[in-house]
Amino acid sequence: MRKKLYLIFLILSNFCFSQSKKEKIAMLTDKIDSTINACNIKSSSLNDSIKFLQRDIILEKDKQIQLSFELQKKSEIIDDMLAHQKKRTKSLDSLISIVKENKILLLETENKFIGSYSVSYGNGMGGSSSGSLDFFSNNNGVYYFNLEYNVGAPSFNFGYLTGSFKIFGDKGVYYANLDNESITSTTEQEGTICKIIFIFDESGVFINQLSSDSACYFGFNVSVNDYFVKTNSINKRFDVSKIIPSLNTW
């Protein structure tokens, strides 16, 4: 009897133990399945995140490529602008050089005329005429002169004139009505116009008076037809506020 009871007890114990083990295995299996499902969900979410990240990387690369292209275009435009600016600068430098050369030539031309002149011989009435001429410029293309002339013995009559005119080439003409009246056909016929030609060369100036002594307010029978030798190149200035300029129409 005892053996049977013991056998029954063993059978029941094994059965209970097996049942508990199965339950534990089942619970463990459920946990494993839950963990696997959770991992699958996280893996799927991670894959989605990776896909979004890859898409963002591709978009960013496209932006970088587009930006690089735009920068290249802008760089080419800047290079073209710089090249154009260099050409303009070179042209401007050439123009400045030409202007400087012309200015130098103009100043050299003006300096060629500017200075003092004198004569101590000539064709005056007594053959002993004398005179002086001061000539200066304000660098505006207009030349101012102060002319003094003495015909010498026996009358020693004297002529004095200040005026201004422009020089064309090596020639200038003083042409003015010293009475401050307008020049008309009547004044031309009456001989009231002072007309004097100045012809310059390297050594001096030849002065040829084409009008009467009275027209230029000179003394009786004073007519300037002499060669004045240049004595210096000093730009000797004097008061020109009351001079009568040439009309430059003759």
Q: Considering the domain boundaries, does residue 179 fall inside one?
A: yes
Q: Tens digit of pLDDT for each residue in 197-231?
A: 999 998 999 999 998 888 888 989 888 999 999 99
| Half-sphere exposure of residue 201: CA atoms within 13 angstroms, side-chain side | 6
Range of the domain at 184: 114-245
Which domain CATH number covers 147?
A: 2.40.128
Q: Considering the domain boundaries, does residue 3 fall inside one?
A: no
Q: Considering the domain boundaries, does residue 141 fall inside one?
A: yes
Number of domains in the chain: 1
Q: Considering the domain boundaries, does residue 152 fall inside one?
A: yes
Q: Considering the domain boundaries, does residue 34 fall inside one?
A: no
Residue 101, exposed/middle/buried by CB under 10 A (0-12, 13-18, 19+)? exposed
By DSSP bridging, strand 244-245 and strand 130-137 are unpaired
pLDDT recorded at residue 129? 83
DSSP 248: S
Which stretches in the chain have pLDDT values below 50?
A: 104-108, 123-126, 249-250
pLDDT recorded at residue 85? 85
Q: Cα separations (Å) of 46 from 39, 40, 53, 106? A: 10, 10, 10, 86
Residues 6+ apart with CB under 8 A from 174: 145, 163, 164, 165, 194, 195, 196, 197, 198, 246
Q: Considering the domain boundaries, does residue 35 fall inside one?
A: no
Instruction: For residue 133, give the H/E element and its range.
Output: strand 130-137
Q: Considering the domain boundaries, does residue 98 fall inside one?
A: no
pLDDT recorded at residue 89? 81
Q: Considering the domain boundaries, does residue 24 fall inside one?
A: no
